[in-house]
Structure 1
C-alpha cells in the first residue's frame, strides 16, 4: 500500500471508528507499528488527528484561531449557550471562561438577570458592559491572543482570590478516554484554577467537540457537575459518558 493510500485509510478509520489503535492497524495492513506511528505523526503535524498513547483520536476543530472559531457551528454554540444561561440564578456569582461559546452565553443572558460575572476574558467583559444588571469583574494577566483570555501566573493568582456558585468552562475536546482537553498548557491550568473556585463546574461543548481531543487535559470527569451539549443522546460518546455517570444536560 502506497503512503497516500495508507493516509486515506487512516483518515477513513478515524472518521468511521472515532479512534485509531496503532497496533490493530499494523496487524490489518501487515505493517510494523513504527510505520503506522510515523504515518500518525505526519497526520498530527497537519492537524488531522491528535496523537495519544497507542494511537490517535480526531483533532478538535476548536483549536483554530479565535476569529476562525467564531465561524464554526454558531447555531450549535447558541443552543449550548442558551441552555447554560438557564443555570445562572438571580443573585448568584458565576465564572465565565473565555471562548466563542461563552461569548454567545454572555450575549444570551436575560437583560433582567441580576448576577455577578467573573471572567478572565476581555471579550466576555466587553460583551457585558451594556448589560443593565450584571456586575462584572475582570481578572488580569498576560493575554493569550489565540483565545483572547488572560493566562499565566498573575491570572492564576487572581483566580485564587475569588469564589463563585457556578463555573462555566469551554474546552476543545470531549472524549471518554482522553477526557476534557484544550490546546494550550497555560490555558488548561487557568481553567483548572477557575473551576477550583466554584461550587459547581459545567462544561460547554457544542457537537463538533464531542469525540475530539486536544493535547492538554483540563479536568477529570469526577470534578465536573455536568456536560452541556447539543450532541444527540444517541451519539456513541454521549451514550458512553452517560453510562459512566456523567450528568448530560441537553441543549
Structure 2
C-alpha cells in the first residue's frame, strides 16, 4: 500500500483531536444539564440531555476512529469516518439553513410571544417565578408596559431604598399590589427589550455553532477523501519479462546455418 502524505496525516490527526475536544464539550454540557436539572424539570428536558450525550459520544468515537485509521492507514476506519462526517454535515445544514431563513423574523416572533404572556399574573407559576427572578436581577418590571403588565404588582418590581435611577413613584390600589404600601417606587424600565435581545443573541450563537460544525464536518470529508485517494494502490502494470535462456536467438541460428552451406565463405 502506498504511504499517505505525512503532512496530510499529521493535519488530519490534529483535526480529529479538535473533534474529540468538541465531542467532550458537548458531552460535558449534557452532564451539567443532567446534574443541575431537578426532578420536576427533568421530564421536560430529558430528550435534549439525551441528544447531547449521544452527539458528544458519537463525535468522540468517530474522531478517534479517523485518527487511528490515518495513523495506521486503515481504509475501513477512514471510510467509516468519511460516512460519519457526511451525515454530520447533512444534519447540521438541515438545522442551520431553515434557522438562517427565519432569522429576519426572529425578533418579531419573540416579541409577539412575550406580549402574549400579559398579564403576567395569569401565566403558569414557573413563568411567574422566572419573571420575578429576572425583574430582581435586571432591575426592571413587566414585559413592555412596565408595572402595568401585572394586575397585582409583585415585590420584585419595587425599587430599593438606595435606588433612584429608573424608578418612578406610583399610587396603587389595594387590588394592584401584593404588599402593604400604597404609594411606592417601582422600576420604570421594562424587561421585554432585554429579553428579546438575549433570545436573539442565543439564536445567533446557535446558528454560528451549526454552521461552524457543518464547516468542520465538510473539512473532515475533504481531508479523509484525500487520504483515501493517496492510499489507493497504483494501477496494475504488466511486468516486463526478460529471458534468461542460454540458447542463441533464432536469427543467429539461421545466419550460422547459411554460412555453413556456403562453405564458410562470404560473398
TM (normalized to structure 1)? 0.28
TM (normalized to structure 2)? 0.27
The structure with the greater share of residues assigned to strand is: 1
Rg bigger for which structure? 2
